Structure 1
Amino acid sequence: MTVALMWEARAADGRGHELLAWARRQELPVRPLRRETLRAAGDRVLVITWWNAAYDAELPELPDPDGELVARAVHRWRFESVE
């Protein structure tokens, strides 16, 4: 089964580039099948990682950035492939 973990954060005012750079620097202890980093309006950063694992498997996730770098708590979602 393929599981996708999504991590999304909104940067504090004017710190979008810093949050993006921070997210790109984060290393996971295990390499996922795929990892993609995206950005959106409102200084939001999204990181999606894909894993060959059961839906409820323990998988490494990006940590929360320093509280001064983000405007709100990080959002996390887990999805499973249906194909």
Structure 2
Amino acid sequence: MTVALMWEARAVPGRAAELLAWTEERARELTERPLRRETFRAPQDRVLVITWWDAPYDADLPELPEPADDLTARPVHRWRFESLGSV
């Protein structure tokens, strides 16, 4: 089974580049390597990271931590999905 973990944060206005750099550094520090990792950015200083894992849905998988409060405008949003295949 393939599980996708989504991690999305919104930077304090004007600090999106710092949040993106912080995210990339933390992603390289994960204790295990995902099948795939992709990073996105969006308006309003948002950063999204999706990692794909070959694991059961409820597996204990390494996730990105919470950034420091002074870097984010709100708590991180996290979601877990089971892949139903790709086209």
Gaps of 5+ in 1: none
Q: How does 1:2-81 map to 2 (within 5 A)?
A: 2-26=2-26, 27-81=29-83
3-state SS of paired residue (2:62): coil
Count of residue pairs the alignment pairs up: 83
Tell me the amino acid that sits aligned with residue 13 of structure 1.
P
Tell me the amino acid that sits aligned with residue 67 of structure 1.
D
RMSD of aligned residue pairs (Cα, Å): 0.5
Tell me how far apart the structure 2 counterparts of residues 30 and 14 of structure 1 sit (CA, whole Å): 31
Q: Alpha-carbon deviation of 1:82?
A: 1.2
Q: Alpha-carbon deviation of 1:54?
A: 0.4
User: Which aligned segments of 4 or more residues in structure 1 are displaced greater than 3 angstroms?
Assistant: none
